[in-house]
Chain A
Amino acid sequence: SNNNFNYGAYHSLEAIYHEMDNIAGEFPDLARRLKIGHSFENRSLYVLKFSTAEGKRRPAVWLNAGIHSREWISQATAIWTARKIVSDYGKDPAITSILEKMDIFLLPVANPDGYVYTQTKNRLWRKTRSLNSRSPCIGADPNRNWNSSFAGAGTSNNPCSEVYHGPHANSEVEVKSVVDFIQQHGNFKCFIDLHSYSQLLMYPYGYTVNKAPDAEELDEVARCAAKALASLSGTKYQVGPICTTVYPASGSSTDWAYDNGIKYAFTFELRDTGHYGFLLPANQIIPTAEETWLGLKTIMEHVRDHLY
């Protein structure tokens, strides 16, 4: 960027937030940085809102990233995507037409406390950093804390577990902030959550093997998106419902979104397939972000053409 932010490198939380502010400052007619809440340790939760028609509650897309703090390629892809959106608006017909019809909200760091902890104490931290009243173990899995078959299969009631669901749904303030925002908005049509790793593109459900009512359409959209993604560098993604593609996972963001009326709900597990795992080298950030963008655009174009 003009401010020397190197999108091909990993950054601190402060640097990411600063760059979000820069993007909003450089493109004031398109992007705004909004505070939607705070983390357990009182760090701000910032989203970038991309909109070409302020003042209206238009159909919207939510791009969620960094909910599991050690999956650094997720946050890095998200901030690259932010820059890509503002750079390509008015030049690329696809994103221009998407933004003419819908708003995009991008949350690059959904778990700021966890992210800071990965940079200061333990690179492999996954959960939030909330305190548990009856245990010395810290944090809950923010992707098992949503109110969608909460405490079901694929979760744990042990605070020391990496998939501890928390004392109750939305107990994690980071999760509640997003839930409240989306519910108050009331017009989200698409929710995409970025994770790593495994190279998967999945749709509901995670909490049951039963097919989601829109599974066929979601499968088709996901396959098109995976094909678009692969067109850049040949990166192969597996496509399918969460439960049968990885494992049962209750209380997840994507299932919550779907069960709350957001039809186009997807989870990406980005690069790689295990060679580096969570420690994807920085020289793969831009290739990953570029290919993921093609997948995201495919999904958003479908949403644009199938608003309900």
Chain B
Amino acid sequence: REKFFGDQVFRINVRGGDEISKLSQLLNSDNFKLDVWKSPSTFSHPVDVLVPSVSLQPVKSFLKSQALQYSVTIEDLQALLDKEDEEMQHNEGQER
């Protein structure tokens, strides 16, 4: 199974068309292998993006350079996945 060690989910706040446009440059680039969890809209809603560990620094640099505010909503994705997997296996055992 694919692992997501070190990957994080960023919530990026966008206020208006200009910021959406800047963010779209980042999201449309193939370089960072970003996975958009919640897409940009034209209505200033936050955007959630899964950032692979190798892209954390460049993405942070880009966001800073474009003055785009963000927060880390999921710091350790793999930990959540491991817990989920463990619970599923435990439940399977219980049901059996």
Give the distance in Å from the alpha carbon of A198 to the alpha carbon of B37 in the complex: 10
The complex places the Cα of A124 from the Cα of B11 at a distance, in Å, of 17
Contact B73 A277 (CB under 8 A): yes
What are the residues of chain B within 8 A of A162 when measuring CB–CB? 35-36
Is A277 in contact with B36, judged by CB distance below 8 angstroms? no
A281 touches B1 (CB 8 A): no
Closest-CB distance, A299 to chain B (whole angstroms):
24
List chain A residues, Cβ under 8 A from B91. Answer: 6, 9-11, 282
Report whether B45 and A246 are in contact in the complex, using a CB–CB cutoff of 8 Å: yes
User: Are A274 and B88 closer than 8 Å at their CB atoms?
Assistant: no
Mark each residue of chain A from 90 to 122: 1 if its CB lies under 8 Å from any CB of chain B, else 0.
000000000000000000000000000000111
Q: Which of chain B's residues have a CB closer than 8 A to the CB of A5?
A: 95
- List of A residues within 8 angstroms of B37 by Cβ: 277-278
**Chain A minimum-CB-distance residue to B48:** A274
Report if A9-B87 is in contact (Cβ < 8 Å); known contacts: A4-B95, A274-B11, A277-B48.
yes
Are B81 and A123 closer than 8 Å at their CB atoms?
Answer: yes
- A282 close to B2 (CB less than 8 A): no
* Residues of chain B contacted by A279 (CB below 8 angstroms): 74, 77, 80-81, 84
Decide if A6 touches B84 in the complex (CB within 8 Å).
no
* Interface bin, chain A: 20 to 34
| Count class of interface residues, chain B | 20 to 34
Query: Other CB < 8 Å A-B pairs besides A10-B88, A124-B4, A274-B48, 9 of them?
Result: A11-B91, A15-B95, A123-B81, A197-B38, A198-B38, A247-B40, A247-B42, A274-B73, A276-B74
Q: Mark B53-96, 1 if CB is under 8 A from A, else 0.
A: 00000000000000000000110010011011001100110110
| Any A CB within 8 A of the CB of B50 | yes
Give the 6 A-B CB pairs with smallest separation, nearest first: A247-B41, A9-B91, A122-B2, A279-B80, A4-B95, A274-B73
Cβ-based interface call for A306 (8 A): no
B69 to chain A, nearest CB (A): 15
> Given A6-B91, A275-B73, are A124 and B80 neighbors across the interface (CB < 8 Å)?
no
Residues on the A chain within 8 Å of B36, using CB: 162
A87 surroundings in chain B (CB, below 8 A): none
- B1–A122 touching, CB < 8 Å: yes
User: Is residue B9 within 8 Å, beta carbon to beta carbon, of the partner chain?
Assistant: yes
The distance in angstroms between the C-alpha atoms of A6 and B11, with both chains bound, is 33
- Tell me which residues from 25 to 56 in chain B have a Cβ below 8 Å from any Cβ of chain A: 35-43, 45-46, 48, 50
Residue in A9, A162, A197 with the greatest tally of chain B CB atoms within 10 Å: A9
State the CA gap A5–B80 with chains docked (Å).
Answer: 23
Most buried by B among A198, A277, A278: A277
- Expressed in whole angstroms, the minimum distance between the Cβ of A264 and any Cβ of chain B is 25
Q: How far is the CA of A274 from the CA of B45 in the complex (A)?
A: 12
